[in-house]
């Protein structure tokens, strides 16, 4: 056994000793450094990173402009807590989110730390505004690992385990999935049935939906379904919350996924690629709804940390200055065509799907059933070839791709070659 192998083994053993098993690590890799779309482990092996900190790095690892903004902010003020003293970077992030999401309408933003924290606060705000208790989410949705986040999440394992009892007044409805035979009409009929049989519309504070289900399998919500949900919410005074935590900041080809449907949500949750790797999230929504909680009802010690805000401002500048939406769309066409080419050769790829650069492939058995074992083999062989990807889907049989929007065309080609090797070795 050579020295480099011992480095990885030693650190993974150290992890086993000191970190609980409940936090899973997708790959037996210990990262040492990363730049752009590339990551090197402690043994010097180079990988193409198509996970991006799980969709956090749409601008890539350690983008020079983000790094410079963080360094500059550290020399001015690192942390004060907005609940003690306001600072300009928080105000600037809020104003820019309000403009990006609300356009010329009056929106306000609350800055927080994590996606789950944003979701929880969005529910609090919706309940405060409506004075209603119930929330409807969707099967296959993922909204975090806090107790309320897990309750809202529409998957049982591994998230719910034995963590109950769970908060009350949370209901789940089917999400459209054309590949598995659930149309928009089917999902909408089920939603109406839920309102008729389980909870009356006038008791529902919010409907929470992802424009593209992330952990649920990269399933885009059809335009007509999002529009119908918007109309339903308007009809009954229900707050429509769009969870843009994974789909937002250019991943789908527009700044936010809901923009494909031409609708305007009441509240939007963002996190992940908002701040280029810094922990920052937000709830952005209509001003009169956001103002429903009284002073002291919202907050968090680290929410809107000054360094994270500086990173977010740099990220938003990059989208404007480097035209990242257009670059991402070009890469999306290249990756989709490459994946479809592989699907034509490998029968166990059941479907290639997604929206924009938020793409995935569903792995199935010879009978068309979900095949989680095959999916894991593909992921493992891809890592051996030098490509990092992870799985998703209710049955964990979907390979998802979350490369930065700054990835080069050459790196897309290289990744497709690695994936081809992995599919062949996995028996796809």
pLDDT above 90: residue 157: no
pLDDT of residue 54: 93
Q: What is the CATH number of the domain that holds 133?
A: 3.40.640.10
Residues 20 and 149 in one domain: no
pLDDT above 60: residue 3: no
pLDDT above 50: residue 1: no
Residues 52 and 96 in one domain: no
Residues 96 and 37 in one domain: no
Residues 280 and 308 in one domain: yes
Q: What is the mean pLDDT of residues 28-55?
A: 96
Residues 66/34, Cβ–Cβ less than 8 Å? no
On the CB side of 315, CA atoms within 13 Å amount to 33
Residue 70, domain member (yes or no): no
Residues 161 and 205 in one domain: yes
Residues 317 and 392 in one domain: no
> In sequence order, which residues have a C-beta less than 8 Å from that of residue 147 and are 6 or more positions away?
163, 166, 167
pTM: 0.95
Residues 153 and 203 in one domain: yes
How confident is the model over 372-418, as pLDDT tens digits? 999 999 999 999 999 999 999 999 999 999 999 999 999 999 999 99
- End-to-end Cα distance, the chain: 32
Which residue, 268, 297, 321, sits at the end of a domain?
321
Kindly report whether the peptide bond that precedes residue 324 is cis, defined as omega within 30 degrees of 0.
no
Number of domains the chain is built from: 2
pLDDT of residue 262: 97
Residues 45 and 111 in one domain: no
Residues 301 and 354 in one domain: no
163: confidence class by pLDDT, cuts 50, 70, 90: confident
Residues 255 and 107 in one domain: yes
Residue 71, domain member (yes or no): no
pLDDT above 60: residue 313: yes
Residues 87 and 222 in one domain: yes
How confident is the model over 231-257, as pLDDT tens digits? 999 999 999 999 999 999 999 999 999
pLDDT above 60: residue 45: yes
Q: What is the CATH number of the domain that holds 396?
A: 3.90.1150.10
Residue 355, domain member (yes or no): yes
Residues 156 and 300 in one domain: yes
Owning domain of residue 145: 77-321
């Amino acid at each position: 056994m050579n020295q480099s192998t011992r480095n990885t083994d030693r650190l993974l053993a150290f992890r086993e000793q000191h970190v609980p098993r409940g936090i899973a690590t997708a790959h037996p890799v210990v990262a040492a450094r990363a730049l752009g779309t590339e990551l090197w482990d402690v043994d010097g092996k180079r990988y193409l990173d198509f996970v991006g900190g799980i969709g956090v790095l749409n601008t890539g690892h350690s983008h020079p402009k983000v790094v410079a903004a963080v360094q500059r902010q550290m020399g001015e003020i690192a942390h004060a807590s907005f609940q003690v003293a306001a600072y300009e970077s928080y105000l600037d992030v809020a104003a820019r989110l309000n403009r990006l999401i609300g356009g010329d309408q009056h929106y306000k933003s609350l800055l927080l730390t994590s996606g789950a924290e944003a979701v929880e606060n969005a529910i609090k705000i919706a309940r405060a505004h409506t004075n209603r208790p119930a929330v409807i989410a969707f099967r296959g949705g993922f909204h975090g690992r806090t107790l309320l986040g897990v309750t809202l999440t529409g998957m049982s394992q591994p998230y719910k385990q034995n963590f109950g009892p769970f908060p009350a007044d949370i209901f789940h409805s089917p999400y459209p999935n054309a590949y598995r035979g659930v149309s928009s009409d089917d999902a909408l009929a089920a939603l109406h049935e839920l309102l008729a049989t389980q909870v009356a519309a006038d008791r529902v504070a919010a409907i929470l939906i992802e424009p593209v289900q992330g952990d649920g399998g990269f399933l885009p919500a059809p335009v007509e379904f999002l529009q119908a949900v918007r109309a339903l919410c308007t009809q009954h005074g229900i707050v429509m919350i769009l969870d843009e935590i994974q789909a937002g900041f250019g991943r789908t080809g527009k700044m936010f996924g809901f923009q494909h449907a031409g609708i305007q949500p009441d509240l939007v949750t963002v996190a992940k690629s908002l701040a280029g790797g810094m922990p920052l999230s937000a709830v952005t929504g209509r001003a009169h709804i956001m103002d429903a909680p009284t002073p002291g009802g919202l907050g968090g010690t680290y929410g809107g940390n000054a360094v994270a805000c500086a990173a977010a401002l740099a990220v938003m500048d990059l989208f404007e200055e480097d035209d990242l939406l257009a670059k991402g769309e070009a890469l999306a066409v290249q990756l989709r065509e490459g994946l479809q080419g592989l699907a034509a050769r490998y029968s166990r790829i059941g479907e290639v799907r997604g929206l924009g650069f938020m793409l995935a492939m569903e792995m199935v058995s010879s009978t068309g059933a979900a095949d989680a074992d095959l999916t894991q083999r593909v992921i493992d062989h891809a890592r051996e070839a030098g490509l990092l990807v992870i799985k998703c889907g209710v049955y964990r049989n979907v390979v998802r791709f979350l490369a930065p929007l700054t990835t080069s065309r050459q790196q897309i080609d290289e990744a497709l070659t690695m994936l081809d090797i992995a599919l062949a070795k996995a028996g796809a």
